[in-house]
Amino acid sequence: METIQTPQGVLAISDEEFEFFRSIVYEESGIDLSDKKKALLQARLTKRLRELRIRTYHEYIGHLKSHFHDEIEHFINCITTNKTEFFREGGHFEFLRTTVLPAYEREKRRRIRIWSAGCSTGEEPYTIAIVLLDYFDGRALPDVKILATDIDSRVLETAKAGTYKAESVHMIGLDMLRRYFYRGTGENQGLFKVKHDVRRLISFRRLNLLDESYPMKNTFDIIFCRNVIIYFDKDTQNALFAKFHRYLADDGYLFMGHSEALIGRSSLFQLKTNAVYEKSGNR
Ligand SMILES: C[S@@+](CC[C@H](N)C(=O)[O-])C[C@H]1O[C@@H](n2cnc3c(N)ncnc32)[C@H](O)[C@@H]1O
């Protein structure tokens, strides 16, 4: 395999190298890279090559093969797309606040289990926790546990730290910001840290959705898996729906990204409302 040098002196991934990377990405993460993603992959790997002081993609492939166990995590971290934000696709949190939580309260449900699968840097599980705390404000909070998982170990570190720049929290109202975040002062000016009351509801774990089985023992009342499956092909998506079906309580809800229409593609779920699904034949 030969690494190509472009006229600008920037390393370019050859077609053969791209095919190699593409198959590894698919096997290890389920992410299906189209031909159009070559430049993106190149841009993302450049930094890793620099860190390792490796000059060519050919050399990097050798490194990946010989240090597979250690390097694969770094490699996958380079290729994931982690775009997220607080209260993203806000209708979902409105549905949670106005429909799901009032129903749980009427039923006097004492235990709520939620999974944010593909949580990226944490904005999604923190938003869920804030919505719950806000809803039950002044009343006894049920036993709430939110599991937040991602394949990318780097974004999980950011998520665990729970510290965000002002531009990341701009869509959170001032009142909520004051209640649920510490505002940084001095050298932390411009930073906002999620308060302990919010953080204590969430456990962050590395988990590859592609794994045959997951370590969780019980089902979830709610699963969020938004803007993750768009990167997967149909077979991987269908295998994942089957696993979500197994991990979702019979009266549970599956929240998908708004661009990830599941309807008509899985007989296991039926649409409840905007990109929120429930198990077929259960209601
Ligand atoms: C675009 S972010 C979505 C974040 C959040 N759910 C949202 O909608 O704002 C997609 C996340 O899925 C993760 N991901 C991709 N493939 C994965 C896999 N096989 N297992 C677990 N997480 C995966 C990525 O690392 C990334 O952080």
Angle at 135 between CA 250 and CA 116, to 5 degrees: 50
pLDDT at 266: 81
Phi-psi region of 220 (alpha: psi -120 to 50; beta: other; left: phi over 0): beta
Residue linked to tokens 């997951």: 214
Of the pLDDT bands very low, low, confident and very high (cuts 50, 70, 90), residue 7 is very low
pLDDT at 249: 98
pLDDT at 261: 76
283 included as an active-site residue: no
- How much is the mean pLDDT over the chain? 93
Q: How far is the CA of 187 from the centre of ligand 1 (A)?
A: 31
| Residue pLDDT, tens place only, 99-129 | 999 999 999 999 999 999 999 999 999 999 9
| Residue pLDDT, tens place only, 21-42 | 999 999 999 999 998 889 999 9
Tell me how far apart the alpha carbons of residues 147 and 39 are, in angstroms, rounded to a whole number.
34
Q: Which of 22, 48, 88, 150 is catalytic?
A: 150
Please enumerate in sequence order all residues whose Cβ is within 8 A of that of 29, keeping only pairs 6 or more positions apart, or say none: 76, 79, 80, 151, 208, 210
Choice between 192 and 266, residue whose per-residue pLDDT is larger: 192
Q: Whose CA is nearest to atom 9 of ligand 1?
A: 84
Q: How far is the CA of 9 from the centre of ligand 1 (A)?
A: 33
Q: Which helix (H) or strand (E) holds 59?
A: helix 57-66
| Residue pLDDT, tens place only, 56-82 | 999 999 999 999 999 999 999 999 999
DSSP 152: -
Asked if residue 31 has its Cβ within 6 Å of ligand 1, the reply is yes
- State whether CATH 3.30.300.20 applies to domain 91-279: no
Probe ligand 1: pick from 228, 235, 240, max atoms within 8 Å of CB? Answer: 228
Q: Where are the domains of the chain?
A: 4-79, 91-279
- Enumerate helices (H) and strands (E) in the chain, giving the number of each: 11, 12
**Backbone angles phi and psi of 221, in degrees to 5:** -75, -30
**Which CATH number describes the domain made up of 4-79?**
1.10.155.10
150 included as an active-site residue: yes
| Closest residue by Cα to residue 14 from 48, 38, 43, 46 | 38
Residues 198-218 as b or e (16 or more Cβ within 10 Å = b):
bbebbebeebebbeeebeeee
Asked if residue 208 has its Cβ within 6 Å of ligand 1, the reply is yes
